[in-house]
Amino acid sequence: MSAPNASERKACWDARDELWRCLDDHQDQTSACEKHQREIEARCPAQWVKYFAKRRDFLKYKEKLQNEGYEPTEGASKL
């Protein structure tokens, strides 16, 4: 597959933004955002779709850490 051109990248990123907005609005209920998921899969390379999913998970995790702080799990080794 060739690399997406500028307009294809913009369409992909717009689809990603719409999906993320939908997930935010519906508290990450993927069933409510199936239309947007299909759109991102149609407009973006498969590797990008996987990357965007991992990126969103990381950003949500980072936001949670910043807001709630870090608490080690029970049984975690203390270095």
Is 4 in contact with 47 (CB distance < 8 Å)?
Answer: no
User: Which pTM value belongs to this model?
Assistant: 0.82
Q: What is the pLDDT of residues 21-64, one digit of tens each?
A: 999 999 989 899 999 999 999 999 999 999 999 999 999 999 99
* Euclidean distance between CA atoms 47 and 24, whole angstroms: 22
Confidence of residue 79 (pLDDT cuts 50, 70, 90): low
Residue 16 lies in a domain: yes
Residue 76 lies in a domain: no
Burial (0-12, 13-18, 19+ Cβ within 10 Å), 69: exposed
* Euclidean distance between CA atoms 39 and 12, whole angstroms: 9
Residue 79 lies in a domain: no
Residue 77 lies in a domain: no
Count: domains in the chain: 1
- Residue 46's domain comprises 9-68
What local confidence, expressed as pLDDT, does residue 3 receive?
84
DSSP 39-74: HHHHHS-HHHHHHHHHHHHHHHHHHHHHHH---PPT
